[in-house]
Structure 1
Amino acid sequence: METMKIEVLGTGCKKCQQLEANAREAIAALALEAEVLHITDPIEIAKRGVMSTPALAINSQVVSKGKVLTPTEIQHLLKA
C-alpha cells in the first residue's frame, strides 16, 4: 500500500502543533503508513487556498481549515 501523505499547514503556533500531534496519534491508532509534514511557509499555505490555520491535508487534499481536529475526527478522514 502506498504511504499516505499528511500535511499540517500552519505557521507553527500551538494549535498547529496540537493538530500535528493529533494527526500522529490518529495514524498510530490506525497503524497506517503515513508521512507527516508540517508546512510553515505562508506562501505555500496560501497557494493551497488556506486562509485560516491550522489546516490539514491528506494526500494533498485539504480536508480541514481553521480548527484543531481531534485524533478521532482525523481517523474518520483517514479511513474515508
Structure 2
Amino acid sequence: MNTLHIEIIGNSNEDCRFLENNVLTAMVKLGITAHVNCIADAEEVKRRRLGCTPVLTINGRVVSQGQNISSRHIQTFLREATDVSQHGDFLSRMF
C-alpha cells in the first residue's frame, strides 16, 4: 500500500488542532499510517487560494473545507483513499 499524505491547513494552530486530533483518532481506529502535515499559516492559505479553513487534504485532494469534521467522517475518507491507493483510481480500474 502506498503511504497516504494528509494535510491539515488553517490560519492558526487553533484551526488545525481539533481536526488534527480527529484525523489521528481515525487513523488509529482504522490501523492506518500516514504522513500528516499541519500547516497553520495564513500566507500559505492565501497562496493556495483556499477560502474557508480548516482544510483537509488526502493525497493532494481536498476532502473537507471550512468545517471540523468528526473522526468517523474522516474514517470514510481514509477508507476511500486506501482503497484507491491499493487498486488505482476509477479510470485505471476500468481499463
Structure number with the bigger relative contact order (C-alpha 8 A, sep ≥ 6) is: 1
Q: Using the TM superposition, give the Cα deviation of residue 5 of structure 1 relative to its aligned residue in structure 2, in angstroms.
A: 0.7
1:75 aligned partner: 75
Q: Please state whether the residue corresponding to 1:32 is helix, strand or coil.
A: coil
Equivalent-residue separation in structure 2 for 1:79 and 1:67 (angstroms): 20
What count of residue pairs does the alignment treat as equivalent? 80
Q: Using the TM superposition, give the Cα deviation of residue 13 of structure 1 relative to its aligned residue in structure 2, in angstroms.
A: 4.2
Is structure 2 residue 22 aligned with structure 1 residue 22? yes
- Larger Rg computed on CA atoms: 2
With structure 2 as the length reference, what TM-score do the two structures score? 0.75
Equivalent-residue separation in structure 2 for 1:22 and 1:16 (angstroms): 10
| Percent of matched pairs sharing the same residue | 36
With structure 1 as the length reference, what TM-score do the two structures score? 0.87
Could you say which structure has the higher helix fraction? 2
- Alpha-carbon RMSD across the aligned residues, in angstroms, is 1.4
* Maintained 8 Å contact 2:16/2:40: no
Any gaps of 5 or more consecutive residues in structure 1?
none
Equivalent-residue separation in structure 1 for 2:44 and 2:12 (angstroms): 14
Q: Using the TM superposition, give the Cα deviation of residue 35 of structure 1 relative to its aligned residue in structure 2, in angstroms.
A: 1.0
Q: Using the TM superposition, give the Cα deviation of residue 11 of structure 1 relative to its aligned residue in structure 2, in angstroms.
A: 2.3
Q: Please state whether the residue corresponding to 1:69 is helix, strand or coil.
A: coil
Q: Which moved more, 1:7-16 or 1:23-32?
A: 7-16
Deviations 1:7-62 (A, max 9, x none): 10102343421001000110111111201110123233234332111110001111
